[in-house]
Amino acid sequence: MTTIRLHPDAHAFLARAGRWLARAEMENAMALQSARFASRGDARFPEPAYWATLEDGDEIVGCAFRTPPFRLGLTALPLDAIPALVDSVGAFYRTLSGVAGPEPAASAYAQRWIELHGGGWAVQSRQRLLAHRAIVPGNAPPPGGLRRAAAADAPVAAQWGRAFAFESGLAALDGNLCVQLIAIGQLYFWDDGAPRCMVGVLRETRDAAAVGILYTPPELRDRGYATAAVAAFSRQLLERGSKHSYFCLDPSNPTADWVCRRLGYGPVQETADIDFIPA
């Protein structure tokens, strides 16, 4: 039987769940990032934060968390624990803006919450996380090579980032973010005398990295730049000693999905950001 164990703060939550979350750090990135941010001394929220582990005996089987005013966050968890979790969160908050996390847990939570509290729910966005499963021989790449973006690339990064955000509907992955990624070494270009394709890494650790931005301007598409850029980045990760390469994409983007699957990436997680609609 799954029980809900509440923790008084992010420090206590990480002390209990940190090692469990790190076993799948990309899948659990939202929980890890939220808890680490909340552990900082300058973190302030308009309401108390919610930190919970779902446990079966002494074993953690899932986590739930919230740093107001944001949505409730979930990790993968047993669906039969959803009613107890909804009751626990409902005792903590009178209202919620929504829920975010892996499917089918996110949709199951949303349905149960609305059944008890009224209103409706709508999916704001979906994402698919893919992991590199195998090295797949590719065709000869186009001219050029992959390089890290430099400060001089900021105007192109800003322009292409705005275009990517517009085309993908992911407003947060805009030009400003792409420029910020340059400063921390997480933006790349396939360059053939000039930038041809842009790759943005949204999360990078000692053992893994996850690409979340892949953009080629319309006039440069269908020349193999995107495929070559992702393949080169995956090779660079292996050469640097990283164990895992991931790609996070919008499931409705068939081009990015085709590129990843062609290069040996396979799906490991589907997530949804869900908004609650007041009655």
Residues 241 and 258 in one domain: yes
Residues 169 and 67 in one domain: no
Residues 100 and 159 in one domain: no
Residues 172 and 95 in one domain: no
How do residues 9-68 score in pLDDT, each as one tens digit? 999 999 999 999 999 988 999 999 899 999 987 678 889 999 999 999 999 999 999 999
Residues 156 and 106 in one domain: no
Residues 116 and 228 in one domain: no
Residues 95 and 170 in one domain: no
Phi, psi for residue 228 in degrees, rounded to 5:
-65, -40
Dist. CA 43–CA 250, nearest whole Å: 30
Look at residue 277 and tell me whether its pLDDT is greater than 70. yes
List of residues 6+ apart from 210 with CB closer than 8 A? 26, 29, 129, 201, 202, 203, 204, 246, 247, 248
Share of the chain above pLDDT 90, in %: 66
How do residues 149-203 score in pLDDT, each as one tens digit? 999 999 999 999 999 999 887 777 889 999 999 999 999 999 999 999 999 998 8
List of residues 6+ apart from 269 with CB closer than 8 A? 27, 76, 102, 128, 129
Q: Which domain holds residue 40?
A: 2-126+271-277
List of residues 6+ apart from 59 with CB closer than 8 A? none
Residues 122 and 143 in one domain: no
Residues 142 and 220 in one domain: yes
Average pLDDT over residues 101-115: 98
Tokens representing 49? 């934060």
Total Cβ atoms within 10 A of residue 275? 17
How do residues 226-255 score in pLDDT, each as one tens digit? 989 988 998 888 888 877 888 888 887 777
Residues 30 and 95 in one domain: yes
CATH label of the domain that carries residue 88: 3.40.630
Residues 110 and 50 in one domain: yes
CATH label of the domain that carries residue 157: 3.40.630.30
In sequence order, what E strands does the chain have? Answer: 2-6, 50-56, 59-66, 72-74, 98-102, 120-132, 145-148, 187-191, 195-204, 208-215, 244-249, 265-277
- Count of structural domains within the chain: 2
Out of 5-9, 210-214, 253-257, least confident range: 253-257
Phi, psi for residue 138 in degrees, rounded to 5:
-115, 170
Residues 6 and 70 in one domain: yes
